[in-house]
A and B are shown apart, each in its own frame.
Chain A
Amino acid sequence: MIKLKTENLTKRFLGLVAVNKVSFSMEEGEILGIIGPNGAGKTTFINLISGIIMPSEGLIEYKGTDITYMPAHERARRGIARTYQLIHPLENLTLIENVMVGSIFAKGHGLREARTKAEALCHELGLTGLDRDTSRLSIFEIKKMEIARALANEPEVLFLDEVMAGLNSDETKDLIAMVQRIALERHLAVGVIEHVMGVIRELTHRVIVLEAGELIAEGKYEEVSKNPRVVEAYLGGGTV
């Protein structure tokens, strides 16, 4: 079942077209890789879908409803969640309180219920020391907290914007397994932006490639990574 789709989604910043007529869709239970060189428009694409910025043109449909211009908080309530490439912990709330926020406002749970749910989420992700300030957390813990915060919305669609960046290989392995399990158990559609192709290969069922705002390829990682256009795009900025 299609959870989310865009048609000709476009975002212009002054002269720059950051996202250019992108049409795609995501199925329930699918882990989709979103790749592309630096500045390709991946984060902007997710900002559009989550409502952090509004599109210049095009359509976003979620579970059959047009949400193109719906406010971000409303999309969060309906089940679209995400993490941020530049981490945004709420520094005046403790670890557990950070995770409670989505439960309280996206799902409307009371404080006590939100705490119970947040504790369960933290436990699931292997987070301990729940009353710590976020300034005391390691990078790995912060990343897991960001995922827990997004999951507290009880989403149906989840986007992870470079959550693996800055982690060592053991931590990356852990997190890959965690994301797979989370997606499977919750029947989530997950969009994963990563620069490390090993992660994409292992984690995703399907990949879309953005370059200069345009969707230039789509398919299984093995196919896409051989696509000449993709290879060329990456030769400009790095390797596949």
Chain B
Amino acid sequence: MNRTASRIFALLFGVLAVTLPFFAGDYPLQVARNIMMYMALAITWDMLLRSGQISFGIAGLFGIGAYAAILSVVRAGMPAWFSILFAAIFAGGVAFVIGFLILRLRAMYFSIVTLALGEIFRIIIHNLHDFTGGPEGVVIQKGVVFGGKANSLYWLVLAGLAVAVAASTWFEKSKIHFALTAIRNNEVSAKSSGIDIFRWLLLAFVVTSAIQGLLGGIFVQSYGFATPDAVFSADFTLLPLAMALLGGVYSTTGPIFGAVLLGLVSEWLKLKIPYGHLVVYGIIIVVVILFMPQGLRQLVRRTPHGADGRSA
């Protein structure tokens, strides 16, 4: 898809996202909120992928953010608003520390370790019963943002999505784009051009993790509770991944398209075949990787000279 067309689509989605609460009912708003949450995660996953690092740890950082937010409210009496910000800072801080250990790893070693770390976070939360509430989780008795009003929560999630889009655009338009693409294409070349690989990977990892944590914070504040199984659910890793792959990686618009498409399909599937949607995600990931490594955009892209080819 050429740039103008994808910009127009993105703009249309933007307008739709902003106007939806004024005419849509509760159910469509709930669906849209869900889709936007996953869309934001898909964008952050793609942002790190631009460096060549494939993370399976989205759910881990999302869950950490969720628990940071809810525990800071329940245990420390932090205002709900601030707890969301705290979730971002906390997840970013965790990413900074583990980044020093795991960003030396590449390819599947990195992927597997991120997956394992997510699982470790879940188990820790699960077992720190007195502080985290263990498997039963934690409930916010009072003080959820907006008193849980659906319309207002919609805006909250939209704001989270806006943060992801803004960060992703920053990654695309700044020197970060050059750093991450060079690292992905050839690390030896990148070094020879003066790129401090570790520093840029750390930046990308911390920023994307902080946003994942932020989204986790928004998630618990929207629902008012957290359990390890709910916030560390594999869905938060698999769905964003499938969405970005489907829409086309290495861009902001790809994950947006993928999320809208897959979000709507999976909503429909959930009604038709409960749990069947998970099978469908799996199938989509396999089919896309096998046949459309550049995602759906590949089907409509006709740019022979690479004016848009940087994201190809």
Chain A contact residues, CB within 8 Å of chain B: 50-52, 71-74, 76-77, 81-82, 84, 88-94, 97, 100-102, 104-107, 110-111, 131-133, 136, 149-150, 152-153
Contact = CB atoms under 8 A, between A and B. Distances in A.
Given A101-B178, A133-B305, A76 B192 contact: yes
B193 interface: yes
A105 B194 contact: yes
**Mostly helix, strand, loop or mixed at chain B's interface?**
helix
A102 to B, nearest CB: 4
Interface of B: 174-175, 178-179, 181-182, 184-186, 188-197, 250, 305-307, 309-312
A43 to B, nearest CB: 12
Given A93-B178, A93-B181, A94-B309, A88 B197 contact: no
Contact of B181 (A52, A72, A88, A92): A92
A150 B189 CA distance: 10
**Mostly helix, strand, loop or mixed at chain A's interface?**
mixed
Q: Which of A52, A105, A106, A149 has the most CB of B within 10 A?
A: A105
Contact of B178 (A82, A104, A136): A104
Contacts of A52: 188, 191-192
Given A73-B196, A73-B197, A90 B306 contact: no
Q: Which of B194, B195, B196, B305 has the most CB of A within 10 A?
A: B194
Contacts of B190: 73, 90, 101
B306 A136 contact: yes
Nearest to B199: A73
A82 B193 CA distance: 9
Given A90-B186, A93-B185, A131 B307 contact: yes
Top 6 A-B pairs, shortest CB-CB distance: A106-B194, A133-B306, A105-B194, A72-B191, A76-B194, A88-B189
